[in-house]
Amino acid sequence: MPRKIHRLFIFGWLCTFLRQTGASYEGVRILVVEDERSAARMIAKGLREHGHAVDVVGDGEAAVRLAADTTYDLILLDLLLPVRNGLDVCRDLRARGIAVPVMMLTARDAVGDRVTGLDAGADDYLTKPFHFDELLARIRALARRRALPLLPARVECGRLTLNTRTQEAFVDGEPIDLTAREYALLEYLCRNEGAVISRQEIAEHVWDNRYDPTTNVIDVYVQRLRRKIDREPESFIRTRRGAGYQLIGVHAVSR
């Protein structure tokens, strides 16, 4: 199978997995290491549209550098990379004590190649093309081993309800039209209901490395959410000056 078709297959699998898996995983931060720019853009676009924060690099050296400076929940690692290949990247990450799950994807299907990849530190090694059911089973197994948090299909915060599978939000049963980023921010605040969340924490979990800390983009998104979800007399999202934001599950007022 040509290399380009492999990349398109990966992209289709990622989007389908995020939409169709029976369990709903919270938005995670993912590093995509892919040297084919068109494939990397498509993968990142699909993941971001589903509320995930995604960083993309195109060579092995950049991957090691970014993984050492940033906390990721998962790395999707191509084997054939410029500068340093996927095996070298995996070995370096493990030597540095970086335990983030790594899924290595390659067309090399010999037993010796798979053994080499796993011995290099990969958590899983899949050859191309994939059987869809096997992909899903392996991802679920990887999530269980790493204890990635599972979200129930329905999350309730007072009058606010989230459907984590369809990424829809409702207030008093009324659907709220949210962008992917707005939903990701709201879901993160809901998962930490009652806790004061700093802007830095929000940036790390909802944004990617394109986030500019000198801007007020997080405050702008919070204001957008308030305009969309708030109902009188109280706001769901409260500002804690100098500390961050706090989501409170506001309940309907008895009449």
184 in the same domain as 91: no
From first to last of the 255 residues of the chain, give the pLDDT tens digit. 555 445 545 444 444 444 444 444 555 688 888 888 887 787 777 667 766 788 999 999 999 999 999 888 788 888 889 999 999 999 999 988 888 888 887 777 777 877 888 888 888 887 766 565 565 466 556 666 665 555 677 888 888 999 987 889 999 899 999 998 999 999 999 988 999 999 988 988 888 777 788 889 999 999 999 999 998 777 899 999 989 999 987 664 443
Cβ partners under 8 Å of residue 232, min gap 6? none
| Residue 44 and residue 71 in one domain | yes
Q: Please state the domain count of the chain.
A: 2
Tell me, yes or no, whether 81 and 185 share the same domain. no
Provide the residue range defining the domain that includes 168.
Answer: 152-247
CATH number of the domain that residue 186 is part of: 1.10.10.10
Contacts 24+ apart (CB under 8 A), 170-174: 171/229, 171/231, 172/231, 172/252
Q: Which residues contact 114 (CB under 8 A, 6 or more apart)?
A: 108, 125, 127
Spell out a b/e string for 94-128, using b for 16 or more CB atoms within 10 Å of the CB, else e.
eeeebebbbbbbbeeeeeebbebbeebbbbbbbeb
Residue 254 lies in a domain: no
Residues 134 and 206 in one domain: no
Q: pLDDT, tens digit, for every residue of 188-232?
A: 999 889 999 999 889 888 887 777 888 899 999 999 999 999 987
Q: What is the per-residue pLDDT for 97?
A: 85
Q: Which domain-ending residue is among 129, 146, 163? A: 146
Q: Which residue type does 21 have?
A: T
Instruction: For residues 180 and 177, give the distance between their C-alpha atoms in angstroms, rounded to a whole number.
Output: 10
Looking at 105, 130, 146, the residue that finishes a domain is 146
Q: Is the pTM above the cut of 0.75? A: no
Residue 84's DSSP bridge partners are none
Question: Which CATH number do you get for residue 106?
Answer: 3.40.50.2300
Last residue of a domain, one of 126, 146, 166: 146
